[in-house]
Each structure stands twice: as structure tokens, then as C-alpha cells.
């Protein structure tokens, strides 16, 4: 069972990030925009989640579980969404599905991103009822009951939309955020705050970052064919 603790995040390894090293072999001619998202203030004390209302949830955690609205590890911000704005062209949805799993009465991952038309599989991995309440604005809202363990439902979002709140009507602490893009040039930061967007066609872009509590920021970036550019944000 995944425990969401600061200690467990600290144990995760740091992934090397852009700037140095060889050019990527991937994506014919594409540029790579990568970097880090940092927390500019001191990391907040995360609010503890009380799961006593549902013994099935409670029994799955030995350690304290905390809210994930600001997950920072040594100033590195996880679960920030970084994406290119103003991309033109048509990009078909990838065949693979993105998964949103309810496990230990938490959503995993807390923040996901997918392309318009890409399948998003919502899975109940718990032996208790979850009710997935998707409060999209551009896309169709839905309210999906998943009463039993192993249930899987596929959803497809047909509009680009950043910051779609997804809650559970049964467990008020459960919270996830969906992010949908019309192109593949997006990433969600890892535990070390890093992101990488590959295969970017040469051009000038606005790189944006979104975080559920800390808001948005943007930077203008120009990349040439095959170029690797480092971009960092502080929120």
C-alpha cells in the first residue's frame, strides 16, 4: 500500500534533468523542453486525513495519510502540470489508456494528464464503494458509482481543459485533478519536481505551469529542431 508521507517522498531518487548530456534519440527532429518546478515558500504542513468513517479505508494505512494539495520535497513541487500553450496542428490520441486508480481510498495518481480522445480508465482497487464525481466545465460532468473491488470504467474527454476536479461522494477527502490537452506536449512533475516534454516541433511557445493551490505561471520559450531547453518555475 502506498503511504503518502514526506519520508517516503524523500526516499525517491532524483532524476537528472535537462541542459547537460547528449541529445535525445527520440522524436525525429523534436526539441525537448524540461526543467523543474520549485516551491517558492516554505513547504506547508500537510493536513492529516481522517479515514475512520470507513474501516475499509482506515485498515489499509498503517501510517498517517496527508492531503496532497501541496506535495513538496526539499522545495521540489510534485503534481504540477506543465504544458505548451498555443500548439497548432492535429495530434491523434495515443492508443494507451491513462489510469486513475482508487486505492487505499486515495486517488492514484493525485494529478493525471491525458490527450483529448485518449481513454482514461477509472479503477476501484478497494473493497468499498467509491463514487467518482467529475466536475468538468468544458467536458461532460459525470458521477460514477463503483461499488466493488476490481471495477473499471473508461471515460474519454473531448475538450482541452486544465484542472478538472474529481472527487468521491463517499469519501470527502478523496481528490484528484484531471488535465486534458489537444496535443501531447504536457507533463506532470515527479517527486523531484522535474518534468520533460519531448518531440516538440521547432517554434516559439508559451510554457505554462498549473498547480491546484498555487495557480499558474508562464514563460515564452523558443526551440530549434533537436534543441534541449531548460525551463524552471517557482510557484
Which stretches of the chain bind Cu ion, using CB under 5 A?
130, 168, 170-171, 174
Q: Cell numbers 500553450 label which residue?
A: 85
Q: Is the peptide bond before 109 cis (omega within 30 degrees of 0)?
A: yes
Q: Please give the Cα distance from 26 to 4 (Å, whole number).
A: 33
Q: Minimum CB separation from Cu ion for residue 119, in Å?
A: 22
Q: Minimum CB separation from Cu ion for residue 174, in Å?
A: 5
Residue 6 phi/psi, 5° resolution? -60, -40
Q: Minimum CB separation from Cu ion for residue 171, in Å?
A: 4
Q: Minimum CB separation from Cu ion for residue 8, in Å?
A: 22
Q: Please give the Cα distance from 24 to 32 (Å, whole number).
A: 8
Closer CB to Cu ion, residue 134 or residue 187? Answer: 134
Closer CB to Cu ion, residue 61 or residue 171? Answer: 171
Q: Which residues, in sequence order, are CB contacts of 56 under 8 Å at separation 6+?
A: 105, 126, 127, 128
Centre a 10 Å sphere on the Cβ of residue 165 and count the other Cβ atoms it contains: 14
Closer CB to Cu ion, residue 49 or residue 174? Answer: 174
Closer CB to Cu ion, residue 84 or residue 170? Answer: 170
Q: Closest-CB residue for Cu ion?
A: 168
Amino acid at each position: 500500500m502506498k503511504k503518502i508521507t514526506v519520508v517516503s517522498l524523500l526516499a525517491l531518487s532524483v532524476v537528472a534533468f535537462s541542459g547537460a548530456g547528449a541529445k535525445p534519440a527520440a522524436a525525429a527532429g523534436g526539441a525537448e523542453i524540461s526543467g523543474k518546478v520549485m516551491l517558492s515558500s516554505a513547504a506547508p504542513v500537510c493536513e492529516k486525513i481522517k479515514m475512520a468513517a470507513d474501516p475499509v479505508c482506515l485498515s489499509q494505512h498503517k501510517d498517517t495519510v496527508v492531503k496532497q494539495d501541496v506535495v513538496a520535497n526539499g522545495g521540489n513541487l510534485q503534481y504540477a502540470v506543465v504544458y505548451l500553450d498555443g500548439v497548432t496542428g492535429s495530434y491523434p490520441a495515443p492508443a494507451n489508456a491513462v489510469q486513475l486508480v482508487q486505492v487505499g481510498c486515495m486517488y492514484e495518481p493525485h494529478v493525471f494528464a491525458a490527450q483529448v480522445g485518449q481513454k482514461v480508465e477509472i479503477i476501484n482497487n478497494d473493497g468499498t464503494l467509491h463514487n467518482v464525481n467529475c466536475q468538468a466545465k468544458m467536458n461532460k460532468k459525470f458521477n460514477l458509482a463503483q461499488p466493488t473491488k476490481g471495477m473499471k470504467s473508461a471515460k474519454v474527454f473531448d475538450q482541452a481543459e486544465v484542472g478538472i476536479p474529481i472527487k468521491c461522494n463517499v469519501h470527502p477527502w478523496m481528490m484528484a485533478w484531471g488535465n486534458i490537452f489537444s496535443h501531447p506536449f504536457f507533463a506532470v512533475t515527479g517527486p523531484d519536481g522535474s518534468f520533460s516534454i519531448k518531440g516538440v516541433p521547432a517554434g516559439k511557445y508559451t510554457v505554462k505551469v498549473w498547480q491546484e493551490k498555487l495557480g499558474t505561471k508562464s514563460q515564452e520559450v523558443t526551440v530549434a529542431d533537436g534543441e534541449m531547453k531548460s525551463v524552471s518555475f517557482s510557484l
